[in-house]
Chain A
């Protein structure tokens, strides 16, 4: 596993800060946000690796940095950590060809496109960098990772807005099941804390604007004072491997992907329908593919973005779990990380795996007054020690796309 985001660099560092109830949200420093209604975001902290922070030159050679947008930097950092952690460094042609990459992004190289547009607008089209297109293309994270490690198996990418991370891991697992690869490096990357990204989501009235002076309180899933999501940047990447293949080489195994379900709302471009039946069907499909029932699930990592849709997801989970809802723990880690868009599903799937490993449910920060009561324990404020063997991660995206992933301890 590999991870970089608002809580810092490195899976163990991020996880321990998450469990401690720390927030990665602060005032936007990547640019001056004074003109915009939303002025807070989750940005990757800069500093030395040893402090759990990011110094890009420790990961991507300086001369290559300007050939790729920041979302590719993020993806490369997380993929590098994940590959190192997995110990999978194929040497033979056969092994390299059996190793693929599927890292997606919700939006891609937005800042790069913005900068290039200005160059063209200024009448300097002939001065456009030859690296502009490969810097902005979403599938270039997968491309760069394959080039770095020589992975010659399926090279693919997912673009399903905020569901990207879950779709990437779920689809990659199916490629392994289908025999296209033995090992898949999968996940999502995003870096849209830039003027165009913040302004665009502001225009869609999607971002929190009421907590500019208290950034740590801005992301508050299910709380009655929530007023929009908080954008985060970063990447999450896992190394998926066919079980016998992993066992045979004595690999470190965090968890097993046991179920994956998808659905479409067919309703609205940005809003889920009343009752969130799309979420209900995606979760149901994940359970069905795993041959499990709601009673088997111990923890749900909610999509829970800190928007009005939080209660619709809650309602869908309550409907699906029925009598089993009362023993369920469900939290939204976006309360601490913000919403990493295309990377969110991957990062949160990893939180599910770590929740299983450590038997800890990470907290939902800022859940002071739920707007809707529920029998489900939403792990308000502080992490909970509880037995977690099977966990479900939800991700829903603009366009009405829904994906759920089920993971189980080994």
Chain B
């Protein structure tokens, strides 16, 4: 697992108070990890802060799963 994926996972565990084993790439923040709409706003902010990236609102809306977040951040970092 990449460094980014590792860090994303850690942030999700910390913010949503879920077990690490549940944070699979396919896991949906809302459907599988118990987040509500405000939790997802906060998560995106935490990603922005941790990776020093800007995630505009329209992009943030498309981030529904752990993998979505990892892919988006990896793409930003590669650019």
Contacts and interface: CB of A to CB of B under 8 A. Distances in A.
Contacts of A130: 38, 41-42, 45
Nearest to B43: A130
B17 A62 contact: yes
B58 interface: no
Interface string A20-50: 0000000000000000000000000000000
Contacts, number: 20
A contacts with B: majority SS = helix
Contacts of A63: 15-17
A129 interface: yes
Interface residues of B, number: 9
Contact of B49 (A61, A62, A67, A127): A127
B45 A127 contact: yes
B contacts with A: majority SS = helix
A131 interface: yes
A129 B15 contact: no
B41 to A, nearest CB: 4
A122 to B, nearest CB: 13
A372 B42 CA distance: 57
Interface of B: 15-17, 38, 41-42, 45, 48-49
19 contacts: A61-B17, A62-B17, A63-B15, A63-B16, A63-B17, A64-B17, A67-B38, A126-B45, A127-B45, A127-B48, A127-B49, A129-B42, A129-B45, A130-B38, A130-B41, A130-B42, A131-B38, A131-B42, A134-B38
Top 10 nearest A-B pairs (CB, nearest first) are A63-B17, A130-B41, A130-B38, A130-B42, A62-B17, A127-B45, A129-B42, A131-B38, A63-B16, A61-B17
Given A63-B16, A130-B41, A130-B42, 17 more contacts: A61-B17, A62-B17, A63-B15, A63-B17, A64-B17, A67-B38, A126-B45, A127-B45, A127-B48, A127-B49, A129-B42, A129-B45, A130-B38, A130-B45, A131-B38, A131-B42, A134-B38
